[in-house]
Amino acid sequence: MSLKLESPNNSNTSNQKEKHKPKPKRKPTTTMAPKTLNFITGNKNKLTEVKAILGSIVDLQSQALDLIEIQGTIEEISLDKCRRAAEAIKGPVLVEDTCLCFNALNELPGPYIKWFLQSLGHDGLNAMLAGFPDKSAQAVCTFAYSEGPGHEPIIFQGRTDGKIVPARGPANFGWDPIFEYESQTYAEMDKVAKNKISHRFRALEKLKAWLEESS
Amino acid sequence: MSLKLESPNNSNTSNQKEKHKPKPKRKPTTTMAPKTLNFITGNKNKLTEVKAILGSIVDLQSQALDLIEIQGTIEEISLDKCRRAAEAIKGPVLVEDTCLCFNALNELPGPYIKWFLQSLGHDGLNAMLAGFPDKSAQAVCTFAYSEGPGHEPIIFQGRTDGKIVPARGPANFGWDPIFEYESQTYAEMDKVAKNKISHRFRALEKLKAWLEESS
C-alpha cells in the first residue's frame, strides 16, 4: 500500500479521479506546538501516563473517538488516524498506536497485534514463533500529532527491544506478560522501572522535547 | 472493531459527533441487479475469470481504484471497501477480497494475508504453523456489490477447505503453491479443475444466482 498524503476529506478519492484533477498543493506540515492538545484515547491508564510526562508543558484533554484503522505500515496507519482525528475534532490532536513486532516475521504482526492477541492469546503468540529460532521482538509506540485539519501530522516513535517468552506476571494488560525486556517481562516489572525503558516512554520523551523546542 | 454502517461520506465521523446528531435513517439495501457493473480490479486475470462467469448476464466493466482497506473482520473490510468504491464511481460497483485463513490461528492471517505473504513468503507462512498440529486452512473469496452511493452492499462469499503445505507447483500466483485442496495445491491444479472448486468460483456462483434472480 502506498503512502497516502491526501487530507481526510479526500480519503475516498480514487487515483483515477486524481488523474483528472490539478495536482494538489502540498499541505503545510505541522510545526507549531499547541497550548491545548486533544489526546484521542478511551484508555484512562494511557491518559495518566501521558499526562505525567506532558502535563507540565501542555493542557492535555482526552477525547474518545471511534476512528477506523487502515491496513498498511505502522507509519501509514498512524498518519491516517491522526488526519481523521484532526478532521473530527477540528483542532490539534494527538493519537497513539502500539505495535508488537516479531523480528522473525519481519515486524509482523506489528500493527495487527490486537487481532492476533485477541484470537490466539499468549500461548498462541508464542506458538506462532515455534518454527523460528529468532524470538526477538520490538515493542513500538507511535504518537502522531497534527495541528488541525489539513496539517500533515508529525510522528514520534519509541522502540524497545525484547523477546517473546511464555507468559509470566499478571495478565491484566495486553501482551505485557509475553514481552521480556532483559530478564523480566513487562508484566513482571515494577511500574516505575518499566516507565523508564518502555516504548511509550521513549516516544513520549521525543514528543516532549519537540513540544519544548517548538513552544 | 464494531461494524460501521455509515456511508463512505461519513467515514471520518466520530461516535462523539454522532451522539449529537439525529439518528440517521436506515439506508436502502441494495436489491436491484444492474445492467452494467463496475468491477474494481487492476488484475486482468481476475477480470477474465469474472467475465467468464458473469459476462452473459451483465455488462462487466473494470476500473482500477486505489482504495484504502480498513482493519476488521473479512465482512467489515469488504463492506467498507464497497461503500468507498460506490462513492468514488457514483454507480453500481463490485469489489472482491481474497483471504487465507489458518484454522489454528482462528482464521488469521485472513484479511492480512497479503502482508504476511509479502513479508514471509511461502516458507515463512509454513513456519508460522510449525507450533500448531492443525494445518487446515480456508481460502475465502468475498464479493461485495452495491447499487451505488448510499446503498448498503450485499456480500457473496465462497470458501474452500484445504491445508497449508510446503510450496509445490508454479510460484507465479500468490499463495497458490502452499494451499492444498485434496491432493494437489492450487498451483498444481489444472485451471479448469481449480475453477470448479475454487473459493472465487463458489462466491461467483452465488453472485450469479442473485443477479439472475434479481434481474
Per-residue pLDDT of A2-19, as tens digits, reads 333 333 333 333 333 334
Distance CA B143, CA B79 (A): 9
CA dihedral (B50, B55, B59, B62) positive or negative: positive
Element of type H or E holding A113: helix A113-128
Q: List, as one string, the DSSP characters of B43-65.
A: -HHHHHHHHHHHTTTSEEEEE--
* Average pLDDT over every residue of A191-215: 92
| Grid cell at residue B127 | 513456519
In the beta sheet, which residues pair with residue A122? none
Mean pLDDT estimate for chain B: 87
Instruction: List C-alpha distances in Å: A167 to A131, A138, A187, B69.
Output: 18, 16, 9, 33
Distance CA A37, CA A94 (A): 7
Interchain contact, B16 vs A84, CB within 8 Å: no
In this predicted structure, the answer to whether residue B103 has a pLDDT above a threshold of 50 is: yes
pTM for the model: 0.84
In this predicted structure, the answer to whether residue A207 has a pLDDT above a threshold of 80 is: yes
B5: Cα within 13 Å, side-chain hemisphere: 10
Q: How high is the pLDDT of residue A35?
A: 83
pLDDT, tens digit, 9 for 90 and up, residues A114-165: 999 999 999 999 999 999 999 999 999 999 999 999 999 999 999 999 999 9
| Grid cell at residue A34 | 499547541
The partner residue sitting opposite B84, judged by closest CB among A12, A66, A108, is A12
Interchain contact, A12 vs B87, CB within 8 Å: yes
Percent of residues, chain B, with pLDDT higher than 70: 87
Q: Which residue has the cell 498524503?
A: A5
Distance from CA of A209 to the nearest CA of B (A): 30
Domains of chain B, first to last: 33-214 (3.90.950.10)
CA dihedral (A79, A138, A64, A47) positive or negative: negative
Phi-psi region of B156 (alpha: psi -120 to 50; beta: other; left: phi over 0): beta
Distance CA B5, CA B29 (A): 11
In this predicted structure, the answer to whether residue A27 has a pLDDT above a threshold of 90 is: no
Q: Under a CB-based contact definition with an 8 Å cutoff, are residues A71 and A114 in contact?
A: no
The verdict on whether residue A45 carries a ligand-binding annotation is yes
pLDDT, tens digit, 9 for 90 and up, residues B38-74: 999 988 888 888 998 888 889 999 989 999 999 999 9
* Average pLDDT over every residue of B205-210: 94
Count A/B contacts: CB-CB distance under 8 Å. 119
pLDDT, tens digit, 9 for 90 and up, residues B18-44: 344 455 555 677 677 788 889 999 888
Q: How high is the pLDDT of residue A29?
A: 73
The partner residue sitting opposite B128, judged by closest CB among A2, A70, A131, is A131
Instruction: Say if strands B179-181 and B154-164 run parallel, antiparallel, or are unpaired.
Output: antiparallel
ipTM of the complex: 0.84
